[in-house]
Chain A
């Protein structure tokens, strides 16, 4: 059974700082790994999708990496802004056609 863990559970940084969010998964037999953003009380916004054959994906100030052999993914956010404050969730897609989510990292970027 796939298990996904995100560390830290909460993170507070000053504006402008570069930061890394961590995601680990127990079963390396994944199809892809997806990062989402969730604002309070809202749905999920897809940020980046990394297929199992890929090592990283980039979108603007965001860069996600995937290392299947070690069961890890990271989300790198450059030059953080107060508008980046949200909960960030990673999810692994496996053969059961479902996403297994971590519990998220709640990010606060202080002005």
Chain B
């Protein structure tokens, strides 16, 4: 077990709604990254937060946004949900931003109807 916890584990939303996913990073880790994994695919990088600032972003539209809190926990917010947003959302924590090992949580499975 990595010590990275995510909530909720499963949720169902309808198109156009908004969702917030939460992540508690491993103790001592100051960097959180979020990934989206569609069924049968590898995870795709959404963004990374380091010390409460966005520190890199993948090819995702602005309706994907995030926050990191002083205790290094993090939220992923998705507005105006689309059917293609249905995926497993994975949070990963690491010590610092660059070259260290990433530790992943169990993910939040989002279904958009």
Contacts and interface: CB of A to CB of B under 8 A. Distances in A.
Q: Do A and B come from one complex?
A: yes
Interface of A: 4, 31-32, 34, 36, 41-46, 49, 51, 89, 91, 93, 96-104
Interface stretch (B12-20, B42-50, B66-74, B78-86): B42-50
Query: Most A CB atoms within 10 A — which of B33, B42, B44, B56?
Result: B42
Given A101-B43, A102-B42, A44 B56 contact: no
Range class of the B interface residue count: 20 to 34
Interface in B54-101: 55-56, 58, 88, 90, 92, 97-99, 101
B99 A32 contact: yes
A41 B109 contact: yes
Contacts of A41: 88, 109
B102 interface: yes
Interface of A is mostly: strand
Query: Most B CB atoms within 10 A — which of A31, A45, A98, A104?
Result: A98
A99 B102 contact: yes
Contacts of A99: 33, 35, 43, 45, 102
Contacts of A43: 2, 4, 6, 90, 104-107
Contacts of B48: 97-98
Contacts of A31: 98-99
B104 A97 contact: no
A101 B98 CA distance: 16
Contacts of A96: 56
Contact of B56 (A32, A36, A97, A101): A97
Nearest to A96: B56
Nearest to A93: B99
B104 A44 contact: yes
A49 B101 contact: yes
Given A43-B104, A51-B99, A98 B42 contact: no
B102 A100 contact: no
5 contacts: A31-B98, A43-B90, A49-B101, A51-B99, A98-B58
A42 B107 contact: yes
A36 B105 CA distance: 13
